[in-house]
């Protein structure tokens, strides 16, 4: 595997040419599948942005530019493993049992949104920064105690490394030798805060040394390098050798969310450089084309297939009855505490005073 500047692990350079050791245990069919999943993640992202602007879904956090980091890493998991996502990790979630309909329902504020298919241990999407890291350590520790062979993969951004949860999670995981992989998508910006204001040391992976665990820095826009590094970390965890911290160097091409205007804080030339020269889909597509595994016709056919799938998913989501106010009090506790029951009574009383005699109007 090739190493470029600052110890960055890389297999493909920005022009899709091999500069390191290629993974030997990925078939041609799997290589094409990896690209298709990246392509569909971007197409979903672009469609979701349009749907938000049309008022058909709520606030959305785009993932464009981070497809390789998410698809390449989540692709190595087994069905029984655990995945802990943030609000920007739908590409990883799609790899791990989340349907497009469920993702859309989540953006519509539906209580059933974000639920994966049966049998997948996909933790609810985390909005609060870094809170999912200790939870991932807990799940991994439980797996170790039960000796069930499962691994937890947890995603977070560069901004999360400024939170205490990050340091507590790494410390505890190291002490316990918990089977967890910490995957930092360093996309250079935590909303409007650049990386150099998050940390005095520019390499996040180096922070692993303070906790006695391996740290790896990988080109997050190189799907083959991401897959290889994550596979090694997952296998290490599954063997009982403990956690790994992976820093995937990538870039958020879009806004932080649809409520953000990145032109107010991000240099246009920086965006252009990452978009034109370092795009993860362009890089992998160039490689596949040279290998004779992909063509313009396949690109168009795959996009058409996605459109049909997405149209059906959107239809199902928009035909799903909207969540009702009462459901805000349900599905949280098996036996609701008294303060929650009191709040429920207060809301019902308020609705009755307003002439809304039931929860459903």
The predicted structure's pLDDT at residue 60: 98
Element (H, E) at 28: helix 28-53
User: What value does the mean pLDDT take over residues 164-175?
Assistant: 98
Mean pLDDT across 67-80? 98
Q: Which of 17, 53, 239, 265 is catalytic?
A: 265
Name the nearest CA neighbour of 43 among 110, 104, 76, 91. Answer: 91
Among the listed residues 36, 110, 236, 256, the single catalytic one is 256
Distance CA 72, CA 294 (A): 18
The pLDDT of residue 329 is 85
How much is the mean pLDDT over the chain? Answer: 94
| Known active-site residue 42 | no
> Quick check: 44 pLDDT over 50?
yes
Position 57 pLDDT exceeds 60:
yes
For 197-248, write each residue's pLDDT tens digit: 999 999 999 999 999 999 999 999 999 999 999 999 999 999 999 999 999 9
Question: Per-residue confidence at 42, pLDDT binned at 50, 70, 90?
Answer: very high
Longest CA–CA span in the chain (Å) reads 70
* H or E, element range at 304: helix 296-319
35 is catalytic: no
At 175 the pLDDT is 98
Least confident window among 21-25, 184-188, 228-232 = 21-25
pLDDT classification of 5: cutoffs 50, 70, 90: low
pLDDT-based confidence at residue 187 (cuts at 50, 70, 90): very high
Q: Which contacts (CB < 8 Å, 24+ apart) does range 50-59 have?
A: 51/104, 51/107, 51/314, 52/107, 52/258, 53/258, 56/108, 56/318, 57/104, 57/107, 57/108, 58/107, 58/108, 58/109, 59/107, 59/257, 59/258, 59/259
351 is annotated as an active-site residue: no
Q: Please, is 233 exposed, middle or buried when counting C-beta atoms within 10 Å of its C-beta (0-12, 13-18, 19+)?
A: buried
pLDDT at 4 over 70: no
Spell out the residues 6+ positions from residue 289 whose beta carbon is closer than 8 angstroms to its own: 16, 295
Q: Which helix (H) or strand (E) holds 69?
A: helix 67-74
Rg (CA), the chain: 21
- pLDDT range class, residue 348, cuts 50, 70, 90: confident
What is the C-alpha to C-alpha distance for residues 11 and 9, in angstroms, rounded to an integer?
7
Per-residue pLDDT reduced to its tens digit, 95-150: 999 999 999 999 999 988 999 999 999 999 999 999 999 999 999 999 999 999 99
User: For residue 327, what pLDDT band results from cuts at 50, 70 and 90?
Assistant: confident
Residue 3 has pLDDT above 50, yes or no: no
pLDDT on residue 197: 94
Cβ(187)–Cβ(221) below 8 Å = no
Domains detected in the chain? 2-319 (3.40.50.970), 324-361 (no CATH)
Whole-number pLDDT of residue 6:
56
Q: What is the arithmetic mean of pLDDT over 320-325?
A: 88
263-279 pLDDT, tens digit per residue, is 999 999 999 999 999 99
């Amino acid at each position: 595997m090739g190493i470029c500047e600052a110890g960055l692990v890389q297999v493909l350079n920005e022009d899709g040419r091999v500069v390191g050791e290629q993974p030997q245990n990925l078939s041609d069919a799997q290589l094409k599948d990896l690209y298709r999943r990246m392509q569909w993640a971007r197409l979903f992202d672009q469609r979701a942005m349009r749907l938000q602007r049309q008022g058909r879904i709520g606030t959305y956090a785009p993932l464009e530019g981070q497809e390789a980091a998410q698809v390449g890493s989540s692709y190595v998991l087994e069905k029984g493993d655990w995945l802990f996502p943030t609000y920007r990790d739908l590409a990883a979630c799609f790899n791990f049992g989340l349907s497009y309909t469920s993702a859309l329902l989540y953006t519509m504020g539906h209580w059933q949104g974000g639920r994966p298919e049966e049998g997948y241990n996909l933790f609810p999407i985390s909005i609060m920064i870094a809170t999912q890291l200790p939870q991932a350590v807990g799940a991994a520790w439980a797996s170790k105690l039960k000796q069930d062979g499962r691994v937890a993969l947890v995603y977070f951004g560069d901004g999360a490394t400024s939170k205490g949860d990050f340091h507590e999670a790494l410390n505890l995981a190291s002490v316990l030798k918990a089977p967890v992989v910490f995957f930092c998508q360093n996309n250079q910006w935590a909303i409007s805060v650049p990386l150099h204001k998050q940390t005095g040391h520019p390499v996040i992976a180096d922070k692993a040394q303070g906790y006695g665990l391996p740290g790896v820095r990988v080109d997050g826009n190189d799907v083959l390098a991401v897959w290889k590094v994550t596979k090694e970390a997952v296998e290490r965890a599954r063997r009982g050798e403990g956690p790994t911290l992976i820093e995937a160097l990538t870039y958020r091409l879009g806004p932080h969310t649809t409520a953000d205007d990145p032109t107010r804080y991000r240099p246009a030339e920086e965006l252009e450089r990452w978009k034109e020269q370092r795009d993860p889909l362009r890089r992998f597509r160039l490689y596949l084309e040279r290998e004779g595994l992909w063509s313009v016709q396949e690109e168009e056919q795959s996009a058409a297939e996605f459109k049909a799938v997405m149209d059906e998913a959107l239809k199902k989501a928009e035909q799903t009855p909207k969540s009702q106010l009462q459901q805000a009090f349900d599905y949280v506790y098996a036996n609701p505490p008294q303060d929650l029951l009191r709040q429920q009574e207060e809301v019902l009383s308020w609705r009755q005073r307003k002439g809304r005699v039931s929860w459903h109007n």
